[in-house]
């Protein structure tokens, strides 16, 4: 069982921090003897559940996972806050207040200096239905000035798009270039350009949203 605890720690903790602090936390968990082999060999599993609950309470696992990334300032998790869009080539009154939320994860690897990320979002779309997206993308830093960084990239997402007027939900893929301006605290404003198949009207919409690092919430107590 100690091996199981160690494996779980080794998988979860690096997602919130790649620092030496995380490695120390993994080593400390491995050395703990709160779990005995016998307590997890009960037929009905009651002792296992009770032991797990006591471990979480005593060790404050959830608090440690949250504050560890805040102390190191290296959390890869971000909260997406969606807001506005602009449809440049139409006179139709689309809904351009696209409120929504999502989660972004910045991957800790790259091949050519880019940064890769994945996102899951739920947004009020331009026909006042619900749009759900799940996708990934990559961005390159192309300029930096006054502490602000400019990133250019692109992303592709699987999408479900509800059309309440037609009483239908469409499924497909959406892909387009992205432009992001990032502050020193990693908070950024991003524009996603949704292309069109019409050559005379190459852009369907520009969509804007903000990504806020989880550290911004956890660091308030500091």
pLDDT digits (tens, 9 = 90+) for 105-149: 999 877 777 899 999 999 999 999 999 999 999 999 999 999 999
Last residue of a domain, one of 72, 104, 119: 72
Question: What integer is the mean pLDDT of 50-57?
Answer: 50
Around Cβ 209, how many Cβ atoms within 10 Å?
24
Sign of CA dihedral 151, 157, 159, 163: positive
Structural domains of the chain, count: 2
The per-residue pLDDT for 160 is 97
> Which stretch of 45-59, 76-90, 99-113, 150-164 has the lowest confidence by average pLDDT?
45-59
Last residue of a domain, one of 19, 42, 72: 72
pTM of the full predicted structure? 0.65
- Distance, CA of 100 to CA of 83 (rounded, Å): 7
| 100 and 202 share one domain | yes
Per-residue pLDDT tens over the stretch 72-110? 456 899 999 999 999 998 888 899 999 999 999 999 877
Last residue of a domain, one of 18, 48, 72: 72
| 41 and 144 share one domain | no
| 188 and 122 share one domain | yes
């Amino acid at each position: 069982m100690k091996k199981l605890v160690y494996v779980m720690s080794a998988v979860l903790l690096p997602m919130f921090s790649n620092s030496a602090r995380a490695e120390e936390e993994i080593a400390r968990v491995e050395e703990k003897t709160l779990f005995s082999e016998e307590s997890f060999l009960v037929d009905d599993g009651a002792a296992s559940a009770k032991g797990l609950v006591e471990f979480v309470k005593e060790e404050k696992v959830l608090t440690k996972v949250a504050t560890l990334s805040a102390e190191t300032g290296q959390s890869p998790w971000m909260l997406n806050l969606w807001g506005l869009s602009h449809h440049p080539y139409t006179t139709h009154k689309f809904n351009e207040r696209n409120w929504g939320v999502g989660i972004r994860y910045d991957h800790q690897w790259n091949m050519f200096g880019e940064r890769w990320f994945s996102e899951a979002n739920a947004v009020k779309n331009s026909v006042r239905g619900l749009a759900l997206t799940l996708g990934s993308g990559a961005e390159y830093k192309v300029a930096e000035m006054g502490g602000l960084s400019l990133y250019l990239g692109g992303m592709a997402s699987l999408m479900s798009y509800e059309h309440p007027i037609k009483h239908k939900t469409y499924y497909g893929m959406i892909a387009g270039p992205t432009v992001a301006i990032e502050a020193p605290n990693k908070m950024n404003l991003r524009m996603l350009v949704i292309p069109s198949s019409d050559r005379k009207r190459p852009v369907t919409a520009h969509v804007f949203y903000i990504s806020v690092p989880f550290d911004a919430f956890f660091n308030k107590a500091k």
